[in-house]
Each structure stands twice: as structure tokens, then as C-alpha cells.
Amino acid sequence: MISSHNKYFTLIIFAAILYLIFLLIKPFISIILGSIILAYAFWPINKKLEAKLKKPTVSAALTTILIFLIILVPLIFILNILTIESISAYQTLKGQDISALTSSFADEKFTGNIQGIVDKVLLFFVETTSKLVLSIPQLALDFFLLFFLIFYLLKDGQKVVSIAKTHFPSKNKSVIYSKFERLTKVLIYGTILIAILQGILGGVGFAIFKIESPILWGSAMAIASFIPIIGTAIIWFPAGIYKLIQGNFVSGIGILLFGGLVISTVDNFVRPYFVSSKAKVHPAIIFLGVLGGLKLFGFTGIIIGPLFLVLALEYMGIRAPNLKS
């Protein structure tokens, strides 16, 4: 009886410790998960450097610096322009008379709805970019922690994976690990990379055809690329129609053709290089993961959300036959 009580007491203490650990790391969960994803994405580069230099610490440091230069430096530049462009776009469209532009083909109610949607979308970008600027001190601390964790994950990542494999509670460890690895590559190198590429092309297209705030709308297209079926068309198609209504046929037809022939077809050419036919992930799952990830983790949830959802569903799919048997 006493041994039974001791057992339950130990379990309660263990659960309480786990809960306290969770509370301690809760504010940094998105940073921890983000560092894991970035370390994984740049792991092949780190391994090549390590093979040449024969020094894990130096190769990890060089890879971390590379990630810093590739991600943080452009991000600071983009955030600065995004802030300026979002405010400029808000003021420009706020000053536009939507009713005058749509009166020839739409009723008053429809026009009011369009105006409301435009206002909400632009206000969202203004508020988001403003919050980012105001939270620069916190962001600086978060980025320090992010790169600190990335360095040690690159340096000791192999040990962490070995420990995880050893203690993973499943008979099919190798099968689960190989599937997880494949799906992670699909999401990081396939889905995320394509989203970034479509965003860049969208911004370039908007700049070529002289549509205001190209970086703002390019960023919006990168996020919109996760939406099933519609994708980036939710941004470039209304922009093209808007230019046609204004009477700017060169910009209107140009962006519609560029969007249909270049931005939206990138997926068909790039994805096969990263994603095999056996490793495809349903777009609806990715979209739900993005929405849930944004709500739970903020901006980093765009990557973390779909990754966790896909891996969880895959794990349940592997475990289900074992549970039945």
C-alpha cells in the first residue's frame, strides 16, 4: 500500500515538474520551435562545412552567421519598407472613391462591402507592422535567443536526435523517423520555399507594372500562397481588375498575365524538385495548419502550424494499426 502511494506521489511530482518547465518555456515556445526548424533547414550546409573543417563548433558558428545574413538582414530591410508601404497604401486606398470605381457594374451594397474589406485588410497590415516596430527591443532579445539556440542545435544536433530516437515510445522508430524527415523536407523545402518564391515574384511583378507598395503585396502573396486552390490570385487578380477599372490597361492586363502565367505556375515547376509523388501533403491540411499556427504562435506559426499538424496526423496514421492489433 505504501509503495503504491509512493508511486502515485512520484508521478504527481513528475507531472508538477513538467508543468513548471512548460510555464518557464511557454513565452519562448515559438522561438524554440523556430530555431529547430531553421537548424534543420540549414543542417546539410552545416554538415558539409563540418566535413571540410573537421571542427563542429566552427562549422556551427559559420552556419549560424550565414542564417543571420540570409534571414535577419533582409528581414530588417523588408520590415522597414513594409511599415512605410502599409501606411502609404492605407492612405492611398483610403482616399480612393470605391463607389465611383464600382458604380458602373455594382450596386451600393456590394460597393460598401468591398470598401469594408479593403479597409480591414489595410488596417491589419498597418497595425501588424506598427506593432513590429514598437516591439523592436523584445524582438532583439528574441532574435538573440533564436540564434543562440540555432548555434547549439547545429553543434549538438546529432546528439539530440540520437537521444530522441532512443527514448521515442514506439516499435516503429525507424519508419516514423524516416516519414517525419521526409514530410519535414516537403514542408520546409517545398511548401515554404515556394511561398517565399511566389511572394518575391509577386513583388517583382507589382513593381514592373507600377502597382503601389510591391513589397507589401509581395509579402501578402507569400502568405496567400498557402490558401488552397485560390492561392496568390486572391491578391494579384483584384489588383489587375482594379487597374483595369482605373483605365490603366497596360498595368491591369500585365499583372493579370504575369500572375496567371508566372506567379501561379511556379508551383508546378519548382515543387517536383523537392517533393516526390509519395510525399505530397494535402493543401487543406497545410492551410488549416497555417491558420492555427498564426493564432497560437504568431508569425512563426506559418511554418510551425502546418509542420506540427502534418507530423501529428502522420504519427496517428502509423500508430492506428498498432493500436487496433
For the segment 251-262, what is each residue's pLDDT rounded down to a tens digit? 889 999 999 888
pTM attached to this predicted model:
0.65
Selection from 143-152, 157-166, 174-183 with the highest mean pLDDT = 143-152
Same domain, yes or no, for 76 and 181? no
SS (H, E, C) the chain: CHHHHHHHHHHHHHHHHHHHHHHHHHHHHHHHHHHHHHHHHCHHHHHHHHHHHCCHHHHHHHHHHHHHHHHHHHHHHHHHHHHHHHHHHHHHHHCCCHHHHHCCCCCHHHHHHHHHHHHHHHHHHHHHHHHHHHCHHHHHHHHHHHHHHHHHHHHHHHHHHHHHHHHCCCCCHHHHHHHHHHHHHHHHHHHHHHHHHHHHHHHHHHHHCCCCCHHHHHHHHHHHCCCCCCCCHHHHHHHHHHHHHHCCHHHHHHHHHHHHHHHCCHHHHHHHHHCCHHHCCCHHHHHHHHHHHHHHHHHHHHHHHHHHHHHHHHHHHHHHHHHHC
pLDDT at 141: 83
12 falls within a domain: no
15 falls within a domain: no
pLDDT at 245: 82
Residue 275 has pLDDT above 60, yes or no: no
Task: Find the mean pLDDT for residues 95-100.
Answer: 57
Selection from 96-105, 109-118, 299-308 with the highest mean pLDDT = 299-308
Same domain, yes or no, for 283 and 313? yes
Residue 153 has pLDDT above 80, yes or no: yes
37 falls within a domain: yes
Single out the residue in 106, 139, 167 at which a domain terminates: 167
Same domain, yes or no, for 209 and 143? no
197 falls within a domain: yes
Average pLDDT, the chain: 76
Lowest-pLDDT choice from 38-52, 176-190, 269-283: 269-283
Alpha carbons 42 and 76: distance in angstroms, whole number: 20
pLDDT at 149: 92
Alpha carbons 183 and 245: distance in angstroms, whole number: 44
pLDDT at 257: 92
Who wins on pLDDT, 102 or 71? 71
Same domain, yes or no, for 162 and 177? no
What is the residue range of 281's domain? 170-319
Confidence of residue 128 (pLDDT cuts 50, 70, 90): low
Task: Find the mean pLDDT for residues 30-51.
Answer: 86
Single out the residue in 140, 167, 194 at which a domain terminates: 167
6 falls within a domain: no
Who wins on pLDDT, 322 or 163? 163
Same domain, yes or no, for 227 and 290? yes
Residue 277 has pLDDT above 60, yes or no: no
C-alpha cell at position 104: 458602373
Residue 205 has pLDDT above 70, yes or no: yes
Residue 64 has pLDDT above 90, yes or no: yes
pLDDT at 168: 63
Alpha carbons 316 and 319: distance in angstroms, whole number: 5
Single out the residue in 137, 167, 197 at which a domain terminates: 167
Same domain, yes or no, for 123 and 82? yes
Same domain, yes or no, for 56 and 33? yes
Closest CA to 118 of 237, 254, 290, 238: 238
Same domain, yes or no, for 138 and 153? yes
Who wins on pLDDT, 125 or 162? 162
293 falls within a domain: yes
Same domain, yes or no, for 150 and 208? no
Q: Please state the domain count of the chain.
A: 2
Same domain, yes or no, for 149 and 26? yes
Lowest-pLDDT choice from 21-30, 47-56, 308-317: 308-317
pLDDT at 61: 92
190 falls within a domain: yes
Same domain, yes or no, for 130 and 152? yes
pLDDT at 243: 86
55 falls within a domain: yes
Same domain, yes or no, for 285 and 297? yes
